[in-house]
Amino acid sequence: MVRFDDMLATVLRQPESDDAARQTAWRQLVDLLAQSRTDDDVRLERDAFRRLRDWRQAVPANIRRAAAEALAGRRVPPALVRFFSEDSPFVARPLLRAVRLPTAQWLGLLPDLSPTARALLRHRADLGIDVERALESFGATDFVLAAPPADPVQSGPAIEPAAVQPSNDEAADPQDERAQPSPLPSVSELLERIARFQATPPGPAQAPDIANVHDQFSFETDVTARIHHVDGVPASALIGLSILALAEPGSDRGVDGQVAGAVRARRPFRNGRLLMAAGTALAGSWRLSAVPVFDHRTGRFTGYRGSARRPRADEQAGQGGLFGLAADGGSLQQLVHEIRTPLNAIVGFGEMIEHAVLGPAPRDERERAGRIVADARRLVEAVEDLDTAARLAGGKLATQIDSVDPDAFTRAIATAATPAARERGVTLTLDADPALVPILADGGRLERMGARLVTAALLTAAPGETVTASLGGDLDHWRLDVTRSMRLAGRTEADLLDPDLGADEEEGGPILGLAFSLRLVRSLAEAAGGRLEIAADRFTLAIPSARPVDASIGA
């Protein structure tokens, strides 16, 4: 009989021949460590975790996330939870939102987790009162942007620490106790908060909707695809439900074709739709994600393991127009202001550390501050895009027409898109027809459209790819052509505009998603009398002049 220790030692002895071999061994080590027992060889486990950390960057983020999803809802060793919590929120979230541990293990693990990981755990309602109280005890350190101690030699007013929201996106080292900016809020948190604003508009107090009492759960199915285990919600409405049962037209119960098709083929699926009948705490729409499970010894399929969540506001069909935003935009405008203020504080404080304004700082700390500033600026851009979408949906987006020069336009795009190209290791080539003349348009809006389109193309490209953007047109019409990345090959226009289909799920993609970026660009273009065309190999942004412009303008 092959023992666990023997299997672990065998994997650790495998040669590191190439990235593919390392990725396979990485998945095997995770799977074996998830089965760890108290009598296993501690030295081998320590070596296995060292190997996992050494190889982490050789394993793509989507593979690491799939491994985390496979562990969701299971009882696994605390050391494995700690290991995944060190990764990015994109990877760690599925595990931290659903993994099961005894209370004593949670209490022992929490001090070792980063503020990001604890922020993810605060979204759970199934950890028990003792764990919730323990999480609350970290509030003072998790939620505060600390300022450095005042220098008694330096004159001037002291800098007060500023409170910020819990983090879901950490850039700094959680073990570093020195003063540094707090981690940044993630886009999922922003969207969840938007959803809460949409669900509770200002007005007289209303009775709580029973369908909104629960917003997530984890589940397991048997080999027939019927749910037999549930965590996080009352199980009675779900036990026995088949994730193969299609919701028929007019029905209020069942799954969509994406889920049913994936289950028949025994493939993983993400963000499929589930409808639950009215009259229970689980009534309404859900988004399901799950992976097939196979017996490690026989290779036989044993069922599915996954999680479910309520759809975000931007995923609700028919709610709030194209972007899932309320037409009046009032609540969202308030939220934008509330989020923009701490983000700008993070940018300002991070820049002071980066440029040593507050005094000498170690190089690695300045570099971390620089990364935090860059991430904060991306979040500020995302907030501005949400604000623009809300104003556009409500017909409140102001227009200022002036003469837009083609060279100035391409320079603005290059300035905005270069950080994304550098981040992804992608080459951007950008050129304009030298015979092109200015057009009359809203310059700020036009630059936003062009920058968002080019940046989205860059952030979906693989390292080493080249994205080409070219500006052409005539006297009263501009056309910006941007090539599509290879990762988007074969995806139809409907795929790219559907936030559920995951074209932009890879870590590092557009912060609000490729679908949101494209829909925002298209809506801005249509409001200006133009259009966004999505072809098999390129995106084309076509913008007419507000009125014909004499060719001599700008000459």
Helix axes 363-393, 330-354, angle to 10 degrees: 160
Residue 537 has phi, psi (to 5 degrees) of: -120, 0
pLDDT at 334 over 80: no
For the beta carbon of residue 449, count every other beta carbon within 10 angstroms. 25
Domain stops at, among 277, 293, 315: 315
- For 206-240, letters b (16+ CB in 10 Å) and e give eeeeebeebbbbbbbbeeebbbeebbbbeeebbee
The predicted-structure confidence for 422-480, as pLDDT tens digits, reads as follows 888 999 999 999 988 888 888 888 988 999 999 999 988 989 999 999 999 887 889 99
**Residue 307 host element (H or E):** strand 301-309
pLDDT at 166 over 50: no
Q: Which domain holds residue 388?
A: 320-395
Q: Using CA atoms, how far apart are residues 193 and 209, in angstroms rounded to an integer?
A: 17
Any long-range contacts for 495-501 (C-beta under 8 Å, 24+ apart)? 496/534, 497/534, 499/314, 499/315, 500/258, 500/271, 500/272, 500/273, 500/287, 500/315, 501/271
Give a yes or no: residue 439 inside a domain: yes
Question: What's the predicted TM-score (pTM) here?
Answer: 0.44
Q: How far apart are the first and last CA of the chain?
A: 84
Give a yes or no: residue 470 inside a domain: yes
Q: Which two tokens stand for residue 26?
A: 């990485």
**Predicted pLDDT at 467:** 94
Report the percent of the chain where pLDDT is more than 90.
12
Let me know whether 278 and 236 are in one domain: yes
Q: CATH number of the domain that 530 lies in?
A: 3.30.565.10
Instruction: Tell me which of 19-33, 61-75, 128-142, 331-345 is least confident.
Output: 331-345
- For 474-483, letters b (16+ CB in 10 Å) and e give eeeebbbbbb
**Predicted pLDDT at 482:** 95
Report the percent of the chain where pLDDT is more than 70.
72
**Predicted pLDDT at 399:** 77
**Predicted pLDDT at 163:** 32
CA dist 168 → 100, 105, 244, 473, 533 (Å)? 20, 23, 34, 43, 35
Residue 285 has phi, psi (to 5 degrees) of: -95, 140
Q: Which one-letter DSSP state was computed for residue 459? A: H
Helix axes 443-459, 406-424, angle to 10 degrees: 30
The predicted-structure confidence for 191-233, as pLDDT tens digits, reads as follows 555 555 544 444 443 333 334 457 888 899 999 999 988 888 8
Instruction: Please list, in sequence order, all residues whose beta carbon lies within 8 angstroms of the beta carbon of residue 63, skipping any fewer than 6 positions away.
Output: 23, 26, 27
Q: Residue 333 — pLDDT band, cuts 50, 70, 90?
A: low
**In sequence order, what E strands does 460-550 have?**
466-474, 477-483, 531-534, 538-544
Let me know whether 530 and 408 are in one domain: yes
Mean per-residue pLDDT of the chain:
75
Give a yes or no: residue 268 inside a domain: yes
**Predicted pLDDT at 114:** 83
Let me know whether 136 and 18 are in one domain: yes
Domain stops at, among 258, 286, 315: 315
> How many domains, in total, are found in the chain?
4
